[in-house]
A and B are shown apart, each in its own frame.
Chain A
Amino acid sequence: MTAERLIAIGTPLTLFVFFLLAWEWSVTAFAVKPFVLPAPSAIALSLYENAASLLASAAVTMSLAAAAFAIALALGVALAVLFLQSPVIERALWPYAVILQVTPIVAIAPLIVIWVGLERAQLAVLILAVIVALFPVLANTTIGLKSVDRNLDELFRLHGATRWQRLWLLEMPSALPYLLSGAKISAGLALVGTVIAEFVAGTGGTAGLAWRIIEAGNRLQVAKMFAALVLLAALGVLVFAIVSLIEWWLLRRWHESASPRN
């Protein structure tokens, strides 16, 4: 390993360890009560002791978020392609997409939960997470599909390309980098949306991480709340890393973003 690489990995790692040590030390030194701020060691212990229930909940949250992300991706791309075919449809539907995007999800969530029914809370969570995750994919893919090189566009027309050929050979590949950068945001938002929706659905039968946080909070088990948070953050990082990896893999050969800077 080169010295440069050692510094690149070592610096953030050292900082993190230092942060944990400082946290651990302050909690003891200033006698902070564990229900205000537990020490990192207490959080780790709680994570270990509650591993079974927390991991089961993480699996629930993760599978819902993954499903929401997949639906948002498919729906976003399909709508963007539809918008490309017809500017009239785009003008007609775009405002709704914007309205769904700018309305805080916590304000819509109770309505969706009521409409879908508390007995089907998971479906409500899924719908809410899709609503949150849809917009970045939709907006980015819409722009991407329109960002076709003008000259290539003329070349396709000159050689009598069909609508279908234009879409598959020109517009979709041109839109791919945009789509993927939208997907990266959407993947994180799908997780955020899932957790928010779980919070709102509350005790209605979802067993996700949000419910573990509420449950632990009610019992003042702050270390367990933190343990659930740590898992959530880890899930978020994992999701981001997976989508980034897919992005890199798909674009590595031809796109500027995937090439080394120098």
Chain B
Amino acid sequence: MTALVTLERAEKSFAGVQIGPVSLSVRANEVVAILGPSGCGKSTILRLLAGLMPLNAGLRSLATPAPRFGFVFQDATLMPWASAEENVALPLRLEGAEKAMRTERARAALSSVGLGDRGAALPRELSGGMRMRVSLARALSAEANLLLLDEPFAALDELTREDLNDQLLALFAQRKFGAVFVTHSVYESVYLASRILVMHADPGRIVATIDNPDPTPRPRGYRASPDYLSRVERVRAALRGEPRP
């Protein structure tokens, strides 16, 4: 399968963080997790993939037709003055879609994250988990086929986080988009991803790639399975820089 987006020997120095050279490509229908210590440049790599920052060296190439990006930030990053529905419709609005179509797609996207009845609510009237789901719906509304998620659930409580992980896996199974997922959580990376990239800092680089071929969506009991736990151990060891167990 061809790659949706590829970085080849990409280098970037940004806010005192040196990154690269890093090579990485993301295909449709795969979830790539990027894991690493703070300051290793995980979020910067997402922005490089999205084309939000120019590279200092190296190459970024896109599939034809170019993938449609959806971005989910660490906090929900909603416009506080706009309703959930208007927030979800934003990408469509920016891309010049008709109002009727925007409304229809926004409602569908909100329903797909279980917030079909909260379209009129303002962000401040929603809980943290709901806001994050609105943010997810926004990334989906413009028919994104490459989702970039920057530690999207880091600020949520454990149970909400697990729920949203399941919801995300269900969406992946349904829509077959590619995704790159930055996280601090070893468990979350193994649960969600089909490929886990472990980064180290100074300079930010990918030190290990761990595949997780277990089929998705993954059952609730997956978190207790030996396969899952052994992969968690491998990722943890890679993160610590220990030899492969």
Residue A29, interface by CB 8 Å: no
Task: Check if B77 sits within 8 Å of A152, measured CB to CB.
Answer: yes
Q: Which of A157, A158, A161, A254 contacts B80 (CB 8 A)?
A: A254
A154 to B90, CA, bound (A): 13
> Which residue from chain A places its CB closest to the CB of B139 in the assembled complex?
A155
> Which residue from chain B places its CB closest to the CB of A259 in the assembled complex?
B124
Q: Which of B73, B75, B122 contacts A254 (CB 8 A)?
A: B122
Residue A160, interface by CB 8 Å: yes
Residue B159, interface by CB 8 Å: no
Residue A214, interface by CB 8 Å: no
Residue B117, interface by CB 8 Å: no
Task: Check if A173 sits within 8 Å of B90, measured CB to CB.
Answer: no
Residue A169, interface by CB 8 Å: yes
Residue B69, interface by CB 8 Å: yes
Task: Check if A254 sits within 8 Å of B50, measured CB to CB.
Answer: no
Binds A, one of B25-33, B91-99, B126-134, B219-227: B91-99
Residues of A within 8 A of B69 (CB): 158
Residues of B within 8 A of A161 (CB): 94
Q: How many residues of B contact A (CB 8 A)?
A: 22
A149 → chain B closest CB, angstroms? 6
Residues of B within 8 A of A157 (CB): 52
Residues of B within 8 A of A169 (CB): 79, 90, 93-94
Residues of A within 8 A of B142 (CB): 159
What is the count of residue pairs linking A and B with beta-carbon distances less than 8 angstroms? 51
Task: Check if B90 sits within 8 Å of A155, measured CB to CB.
Answer: yes
Residue A218, interface by CB 8 Å: no
A73 to B208, CA, bound (A): 58
Residue A26, interface by CB 8 Å: no
Residue B236, interface by CB 8 Å: no
Task: Check if A254 sits within 8 Å of B81, measured CB to CB.
Answer: yes
Residues of A within 8 A of B191 (CB): none
A179 to B142, CA, bound (A): 32
Given contacts A151-B73, A156-B94, A159-B94, contact A173 B79 (CB under 8 A): yes
Residue B71, interface by CB 8 Å: yes
Residues of B within 8 A of A259 (CB): 124
> Which residue from chain B places its CB closest to the CB of A152 in the assembled complex?
B77
Residue B47, interface by CB 8 Å: yes
A149 to B94, CA, bound (A): 17
B33 → chain A closest CB, angstroms? 21
A window 209-262: CB within 8 A of B: 253-255, 259
A109 to B82, CA, bound (A): 45
Residues of A within 8 A of B124 (CB): 254, 259
Task: Check if A173 sits within 8 Å of B81, measured CB to CB.
Answer: yes
Residues of A within 8 A of B47 (CB): 154
> Which residue from chain B places its CB closest to the CB of A159 in the assembled complex?
B94
Given contacts A165-B94, A253-B122, A254-B124, contact A158 B79 (CB under 8 A): no
| Most central of A149, A151, A155, A160 by chain B CB within 10 Å | A155
A259 to B122, CA, bound (A): 13
Residue A170, interface by CB 8 Å: yes
Q: Which of B52, B71, B79 contacts A170 (CB 8 A)?
A: B79
> Which residue from chain B places its CB closest to the CB of A250 in the assembled complex?
B81
A window 119-173: CB within 8 A of B: 149, 151-152, 154-161, 165, 169-170, 173
B49 → chain A closest CB, angstroms? 11
Task: Check if A158 sits within 8 Å of B77, measured CB to CB.
Answer: no
Residues of B within 8 A of A173 (CB): 79, 81-82
B window 83-136: CB within 8 A of A: 90-91, 93-95, 122-124
| Most central of A151, A161, A165 by chain B CB within 10 Å | A151
Given contacts A254-B122, A259-B124, contact A155 B93 (CB under 8 A): no
Residues of A within 8 A of B51 (CB): 158
Task: Check if B81 sits within 8 Å of A158, measured CB to CB.
Answer: no
A142 → chain B closest CB, angstroms? 20
Residues of B within 8 A of A159 (CB): 90-91, 94-95, 142
Residues of B in contact with A (beta carbons under 8 Å apart) = 47, 50-52, 69, 71, 73, 75, 77, 79-82, 90-91, 93-95, 122-124, 142
Query: Which 6 pairs of residues, A with B, have the shortest CB-CB distance?
Result: A159-B94, A151-B77, A151-B73, A254-B81, A159-B91, A161-B94
28 contacts between A and B (CB under 8 A): A152-B77, A154-B47, A154-B50, A154-B71, A155-B77, A156-B94, A157-B52, A158-B50, A158-B52, A159-B91, A159-B94, A159-B95, A159-B142, A160-B94, A165-B93, A169-B90, A169-B93, A169-B94, A170-B79, A173-B81, A173-B82, A254-B81, A254-B122, A254-B123, A254-B124, A255-B80, A255-B81, A259-B124
